[in-house]
Chain A
Amino acid sequence: MFFMDPFFWDLFVNGLLIGSMYALVALGFVLIYKATSVINFAQGDLVMFGGYIAAAGLSLYHLPLWVAAPMMLALMVVLGFAVERGILRPLIGQPAVSVVMVTIGLALVFQGLAAMIWGAATINLPLPIPLKPFIIWEIYLSPINLVAAGLCVGFLIIFVYFFRRSRMGIAMRAVADDQQSAMSVGINVRIVFALSWAIAGLASGIGGIVWGNMLGVDTHLALVGLKVFPAVILGGLDSVPGAVLGGLIVGGVESVAAGYIDPYVGGGTKDFAPFIIMILALMFRPYGFFGREIIERV
């Protein structure tokens, strides 16, 4: 049986670790969708931008990590604020296609800007983490994957705490639930909109560090954002636990599928399998595992 096979578990566990990194990016995406109903096609480009800032700080300007990382996160928060205030807010009330196109336009601008400022060549993002893998029962676990997964889990816990306990977090949940009622009890919806973009920027920044360390930083890093769509559709577009579960499933499935199918078709399964699951999910359960079910009947 395949589940007795260490090869399967090797693929699966490593897939889950990668999946936790997808979950982090998906989290920012869901947050923006939940609060502002904007599908953000520039999520991957935010990740790329974060990666670029960190990599440029570490490799080009030779800053120590404890300076570069907080600086990058602060810049990403500011960037999130700026995008919401300058570009998305004037478009409130426009049809969906316009808002989607604006985020696509943003994605193009980010790619052009990043390559123009820091050059198109791949930049290393070195982190002080050993390369030698741990081996447990023939499963190879590379330290960077574990650190990345740890970072992601840590961020998720802080995030959940923020949403459950803090005043602002509860206000954000209220706005996501019902904008008008939230306004009528005195919640400042504008600040919530801006804050959700800022937190999404923060999540993308952390994503940028871990993804940039794994893949190297160039404009292709933005492709990570495309994998977010299967994850969030699977979990439900407006559900935070759904984004995490979706990310883990996408990571596990793409890794296992690539391991078993790639030898027969010559590669590329990784970029393809998650979208097959997504189409199936859209056909049978379009609101995902935990998404809010919108019923429209006449």
Chain B
Amino acid sequence: MINRECGVYQTTYQGDMALYPLPLAKASYGLLLLILLALPLVADSHSMAIVNLIGLAAIGAIGLNILTGYTGQISLGHGAFMMVGSYTAAILSARYEMPFWVGLPAGGAVAAAVGAFFGIPSLRIKGLYLAIATLAAQFIIEWCINHIPWIGGGAQSSIYVPTPTLFGWPFNTEYRRYFMILPICILAYVGAQNLVRSRVGRAFIAIRDRDVAAEIIGVDIFRYKLLAFAVSSFYAGVAGALWTYYLKIANYEHFILSTSISYLAMIIIGGLGSVLGSVFGAVFITLLPIVLVYVVEGIARLFGFTYASIADFLANLRLIIYGGLIILFLAIEPEGLYRMWGNIKRYFRFWPFSY
């Protein structure tokens, strides 16, 4: 991933499909893991919070990329599936006093079931029609959570959950919560990498590239489409549940339509059909507003404006830059940051003889 790749002369299919194409790759993954583990030693609490947000976003983005990037089914309801996971975890932990390691997979499982149900129309409709159907899923789930008191917890539709603990070790600071999020993030990443190079992943890609051809070579389209919806929603559910334990509150406002859109933006800017790209996209979209605030505030200070006077301007500028970036990426680099990363790597592979 981050090492210089050269001398990749695979002679077997196994070698070609391997997770680590070179021994060096293993080493570079190990190094990356060490860096991630050592991060809390150097970062302050504020930057840890940003890192945690990136981790949460990455899990959801990987899930959406499995559905949209690999299987080619557009989903505008990803936020709703996160909402399902979030409220499932909150209900289990707040009302039935379940620990968070029960709530997480349960949130994922319930979201997977709901996601598969809303994936049923994908048997008959595809492409643009499906995008609209998933839009309906977003509204219907949001309405149900808001109007059924048993699910939404009545007024404001918020459920508070206790601080998650593991073996008597509470996750109550940003540093500790980092170690709650990091393992799940790594699991999600490795799981997705393995999924997309397996038989199931190849079936997904076949459906994306040409569904009729996939059916002819024996891929059961309906089964695999539903599976893609279920897997993607499982990721969404886990991410939503993790949000709940991270914020210690489940609230639907974190998972509205604009959330679904920002996850779509992540995978498009990061790179459709790439697990690493989803992580890039999550980093980019999470950092964008933060960096924007720093930059614009800095410029405003130079001219003697206060933060309060530019807050409105900032919010609108963020929307414009956000939308503009989506359009720009689609027009100029449709394969996203992942492709740019590949270009950089290719440049250095042949460096200094890059012709």
Contacts and interface: CB of A to CB of B under 8 A. Distances in A.
* A-B complex is real: yes
Interface stretch (A105-113, A124-132, A151-159): A105-113
B216 interface: yes
A87 B334 CA distance: 14
A39 B128 CA distance: 7
B140 A276 contact: yes
A276 B144 CA distance: 12
Contacts of B261: 104, 108
B195 interface: no
A286 B124 contact: yes
B24 interface: no
Contacts of A268: 143, 146-147
Interface string B306-344: 000000110111111011111100110010000000000
Contact of A112 (B132, B136, B317, B326): B317
Given A100-B74, A104-B261, A272-B140, A109 B330 contact: no
Interface stretch (A6-14, A140-148, A246-254, A277-285): A277-285
Given A100-B128, A268-B146, A106 B320 contact: no
Given A98-B330, A116-B313, A282 B129 contact: yes
A286 B316 CA distance: 37
B215 interface: yes
Contacts of B133: 278-279, 282
B331 A91 contact: yes
Contact of B131 (A100, A106, A113, A120): A100
Interface in B120-153: 120-121, 124-125, 127-129, 131-133, 135-136, 139-140, 143, 146-147
B212 interface: yes
A233 B327 contact: no
B155 to A, nearest CB: 10
Given A91-B331, A229-B135, A102 B140 contact: no
Given A101-B265, A268-B143, A282-B121, A233 B129 contact: yes
Interface string B137-179: 0011001001100000000000000000000000000000000
Contacts of B331: 87, 90-91, 102
B264 interface: yes
A237 B125 CA distance: 13
A116 B320 contact: yes
Interface of A is mostly: helix
Given A112-B317, A112-B318, A279-B136, A106 B323 contact: yes
Nearest to A114: B316
A232 to B, nearest CB: 9
Interface residues of B, number: 45
Interface residues of A, number: 44
A107 B323 contact: yes
B314 to A, nearest CB: 10
B68 A97 contact: yes
A52 to B, nearest CB: 13
A104 B316 contact: no
Nearest to B268: A101
A108 B317 CA distance: 10
The interface centre, meaning the residue of B135, B215, B317 with most chain A CB atoms within 10 A of its CB, is: B135
A105 B326 contact: yes
Given A229-B132, A275-B136, A278-B132, A87 B327 contact: yes
A225 to B, nearest CB: 11
A96 interface: yes
B339 to A, nearest CB: 14
A145 to B, nearest CB: 25
A265 B131 CA distance: 28
A276 B72 CA distance: 25
A263 interface: no
A298 interface: yes
Contacts of B143: 268, 271-272
Given A116-B320, A272-B140, A105 B327 contact: yes
A109 B135 contact: no
Contacts of A186: none
A109 B74 contact: no
Contacts of B242: none
B327 A283 contact: no
A266 interface: yes
Contacts of B238: none
Contact of B323 (A94, A108, A230, A237): A108
B226 interface: no
B185 interface: no
B322 to A, nearest CB: 6
Interface of A: 39, 87, 90-91, 94, 96-98, 100-102, 104-113, 115-116, 119-120, 226, 229-230, 233, 237, 265-266, 268, 271-272, 275-276, 278-279, 282-283, 286, 296, 298
Given A97-B74, A98-B268, 17 more contacts: A91-B330, A96-B74, A97-B72, A97-B131, A98-B334, A105-B322, A106-B323, A108-B320, A111-B319, A120-B316, A229-B135, A229-B136, A266-B147, A272-B143, A276-B136, A279-B140, A286-B129
18 contacts: A39-B131, A94-B334, A102-B330, A105-B265, A109-B320, A112-B317, A112-B320, A112-B322, A115-B315, A116-B316, A229-B135, A272-B139, A272-B140, A275-B136, A275-B140, A279-B121, A282-B124, A282-B125
Nearest first, the 4 closest Cβ-Cβ pairs linking A and B are A108-B323, A112-B319, A105-B326, A112-B320
